[in-house]
Structure 1
Amino acid sequence: MLIWLILWTSGVWGQKDMKDKLFAFPKESSTSYVKLLPEYRGSFSEATVCMRFHSNLTREYSLFSLATWTKENAFLLYYYPDKRNQLLLSVDNEDHYYDLQGNNFTEWTSICATWNSSTWVLWIDGTKYETNAKRKDMKISADHIIIIGQEQDSYGGKFEASQSFVGEITDIIHMWNKTLTDENIMDYFAADEMSGNIINWNGLDYKIFEDVNIQPYVDPYPCISV
């Protein structure tokens, strides 16, 4: 009974290789999300995040939300659909908006976002979007909280259903405390053989809260022998 009570109050937790699995977020909610538990919790001044997902939502939603005690948008990936069709990358509460070229993420899509003291780069299925940095003194401080499925308006909480993710996120959620090179990114898209040193999908620590399911992932574009 005590074990059941602990799991119920703190969320379903686990550590596992998530290869060929996905997180499914079936409905709009302000309480359903996955908390990713980083392997490294210190501060850093550059980062890369990669992930693969799809969604049929026609409203805005959060993809990846990292918050610290002082910055709710320490590293945020957030999508604005329809005519606006922009992806927001926010680091240290500074926002950069990227105008997308025909992407709406209803099909499986792979993205990577990299940031350092000089450049911010967004990759979508191999297409590169680059912005020069405005500030040189930015960093992500220690003891960060990483959430997928919700957008943190405060440290670890203050979620809004209207910003929640509905869809599926799969086999490449990885995060590094360094900037990957263009060659690294292209190799990653092609082979998915690199593992993050902050978040590693192949040895993921996480807690599931409320209505999020782990399901098998079936590649929609399998290799066919000829």
Structure 2
Amino acid sequence: MRLWVSLLLAAISTATAGATVKSLLFPSETSTSYVDLSPLKSLTLSAFTLCMRVATEVQVGSPVWKVLKVVSLSRLSFYLSGDGVYFSVPELGALETHVCFTWDSQSGATAVYLDGRKSLTKIYKKVHVVRAGGKVLLGQDPDNFLGDFDAQQSFVGEMYDVNLWDSALSPSEIRDLASGRQVQRANVIDWATVQVQSHGEVQSATANKQ
């Protein structure tokens, strides 16, 4: 089971307008439950910050971007292409945790934050660029470009407040985010306005847009 936010390059994203998703519940392991998010701009990225709030009780490995994987509840890994970079962290659990990853291509600096607390910095994929095109999936780890999901690699739990910026936010901005303070709006995925399409058993709480 994995906690995936998966980025598929050169695919087409579909979306459902008219509602703001407040939270997403993935109730069980399946190969059919996932969510599409529609990015606000091209996914050409030379730096980014990915944040979300997550709760899960699964005790074996989990996904949140093919970029982000929970190998175990106390080990997070981060993938752009090829080998990933790993961080040992306090265990995730049923209590909500604010999780962020930051990465900057110019320096390769990569870090994970849990509830505003920063890990050590690791150097990863210096001068790499995430290419344009594609879509963002929540809840599954696609084994190839077209899908082929594996139930044992699906996310089980709740996630919301998923935001993606095309820059590496500062530690103070991420601390503010974790505590619910206002910072610059996410400019690639903005949870307050994002359009989504749910598949399979995913349940969501929604409210009409203003």
TM bracket, shorter-chain basis:
0.7 to 0.9
TM-score of the superposed pair, with normalisation by structure 1: 0.78
CA pair 196-16 structure 1, distance change in 2 beyond 3 A:
farther
Give unmatched runs, 5+ long, in structure 2: 1-12
The residue that corresponds to 1:111 in the other structure is: 99
CA pair 193-156 structure 1, distance change in 2 beyond 3 A:
farther
The residue that corresponds to 2:111 in the other structure is: 121
The residue that corresponds to 2:4 in the other structure is: none
Contact 2:19 2:206 in 1 (8 A): no
Structure 1 SS opposite 2:164: strand
Number of positions where the alignment pairs a residue of Structure 1 with one of Structure 2: 192
> Aligned runs of 1:1-226 on 2, under 5 Å?
13-18=16-21, 21-65=22-66, 76-81=67-72, 85-101=74-90, 103-117=91-105, 118=107, 119-170=109-160, 172-194=161-183, 195-215=185-205
Q: 1:44 offset after TM fit, Å? A: 1.5
The residue that corresponds to 2:5 in the other structure is: none
CA pair 192-166 structure 1, distance change in 2 beyond 3 A:
farther
Output the aligned Cα RMSD.
Answer: 2.2
Q: 1:192 offset after TM fit, Å? A: 4.5
The residue that corresponds to 1:224 in the other structure is: none
Q: Which amino acid aligns with 1:77?
A: L
Structure with the bigger percentage of helix: 1
**Greater Rg over alpha carbons, structure:** 1
Detail structure 1 runs of 4+ shifted over 6 Å in the superposition. Answer: none
Structure 2 SS opposite 1:152: coil
Q: 1:181 offset after TM fit, Å? A: 0.8
TM-score of the superposed pair, with normalisation by structure 2: 0.83
Q: Compare 192-201 and 46-55 and name the one that shifted more.
A: 192-201
Contact 1:11 1:209 in 2 (8 A): no
